[in-house]
């Protein structure tokens, strides 16, 4: 699978200064209006709100935080980095996601294909000329096919959820941080310091992230030489890295390219998070556009 797409330029999107804030701070804003509440009537990413999802979500993070160790991630990257499970087209993979609901998500209880299309369509509306970003929105969660038997049928704790570096100290801003205390790495003196296995400014490409759909899809994109711009690959690998792009944690590991790409991730994240709703996308209506985009940039 090969993709060729024009490199993005930050100047191509609307820029404005933050009112009352740092005059040097750049805001990239396509006009998307953030809704007041999620599908359950609560604020987005509220992990303490009483809802039908609360118990499921907390149990997910308990299991995730205990089991996502440095050694586990290395094993998963070695096994799945070979890309030997199966071969499948992009839209075929998208349709597989009809079968799955993300146990880590407190904001939505709908099949994942809905989320992909909601994200992509919201981006397309505000950035009609940035087709690389439409495509990124469409495929950013495609790695969740790891839940399917064809791709190994991994448990949800090894596929979805917020991501974080392994091999260094777990930052307290991570959701349900308390459960990390049961992770073997939490007590490992070599892996529990600020830098752990890494060095300052080493670049996120050199950091092992908790294993899941983000890292898997990133490996797929690289191995298949998908020529998305650097920002697109960055979005795919780090869109669930909320400790970084929401709380500013782990910035000591970033290099200059990471910092530039983070601007695009902030643009993307708004659509990834706040486009979630119970309003269904007419799949057959939008499918021709996305198929034409896939045909344009993918040789599959």
Mean pLDDT over residues 131-148, rounded? Answer: 92
User: Does the pLDDT of residue 1 top 80, yes or no?
Assistant: no
> Was 48 annotated as part of a binding site?
no
Residue 165, pLDDT > 50, answer yes
Which residues on adjacent β-strands are paired with residue 4? 227
Tell me: is residue 71 an annotated ligand-binding position: no
Which stretches within the chain are classed as H helix?
Answer: 54-67, 70-80, 90-96, 112-126, 131-139, 213-223, 230-238, 242-245, 256-274, 283-297
Please choose, from the candidates 70, 25, 257, 99, the residue with its C-alpha nearest in 3D space to the C-alpha of residue 169.
70
User: Annotated binding residue at 141?
Assistant: yes
pLDDT given at position 277: 61
- Residue 215 assigned ligand-binding role: no
What is the reported pLDDT for 55?
86
Determine the angle formed by the axes of helices 213-223 and 70-80, rounding to 10 degrees. Answer: 40
Helix or strand or coil: residue 205? Answer: helix
pLDDT over 90 at 36, yes or no = no
Residue 80 in this model has a pLDDT that exceeds 90: yes
Q: Is 245 annotated as a binding residue?
A: no
Q: Is the pLDDT of residue 284 over 80?
A: yes
Q: Which two tokens stand for residue 48?
A: 């303490």
**Model confidence at 209: pLDDT above 50:** yes
Q: Flag whether 45 is marked binding.
A: yes
- Among the residue ranges 50-59, 65-74, 152-161, 204-213, the one predicted with the least confidence is 50-59
| pLDDT tens-digit map of 211-251 | 999 999 999 988 887 768 999 999 999 999 999 999 999 99
pLDDT band, residue 3 (cuts 50/70/90):
very low
The annotation status of 199 as a binding-site residue, yes or no, is no
Is residue 266 a known part of a binding site? no
């Amino acid at each position: 699978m090969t993709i060729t797409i024009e490199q993005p330029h930050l100047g191509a999107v609307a820029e404005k200064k933050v009112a009352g804030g740092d005059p040097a701070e750049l805001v990239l804003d396509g006009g998307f209006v953030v809704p007041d509440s999620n599908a359950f009537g609560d604020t987005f990413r509220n992990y303490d709100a009483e809802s039908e999802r609360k118990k499921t979500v907390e149990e997910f993070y308990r299991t995730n935080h205990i089991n996502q160790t440095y050694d586990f991630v290395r094993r998963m990257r070695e096994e799945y980095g070979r890309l030997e499970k199966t071969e499948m087209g992009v839209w075929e993979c998208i349709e597989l996601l009809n079968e799955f609901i993300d146990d880590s998500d407190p904001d939505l209880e709908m099949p994942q294909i809905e989320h992909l299309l909601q994200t992509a369509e919201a981006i397309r509306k505000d950035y009609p000329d940035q087709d690389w970003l439409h495509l990124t929105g469409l495929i950013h969660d495609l790695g969740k096919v790891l839940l399917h038997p064809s791709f190994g049928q991994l448990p949800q704790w090894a596929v979805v959820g917020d991501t974080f570096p392994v091999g260094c100290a777990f930052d307290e801003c991570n959701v349900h941080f308390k459960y990390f205390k049961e992770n073997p790495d939490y007590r490992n003196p070599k892996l529990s310091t600020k830098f752990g296995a890494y060095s300052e400014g080493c670049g996120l490409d050199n950091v092992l992230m908790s294993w899941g759909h983000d890292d898997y899809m990133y490996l797929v994109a690289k191995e298949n030489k998908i020529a998305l711009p650097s920002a697109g690959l960055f979005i795919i690998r780090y869109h669930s890295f909320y400790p970084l792009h929401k709380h500013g944690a782990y910035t000591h590991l970033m290099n200059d390219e990471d910092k530039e790409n983070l601007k695009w991730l902030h643009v993307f994240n708004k659509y990834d998070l706040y486009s979630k709703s119970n309003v269904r996308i007419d799949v057959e209506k939008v499918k021709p556009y996305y198929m034409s985009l896939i045909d344009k940039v993918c040789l599959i």
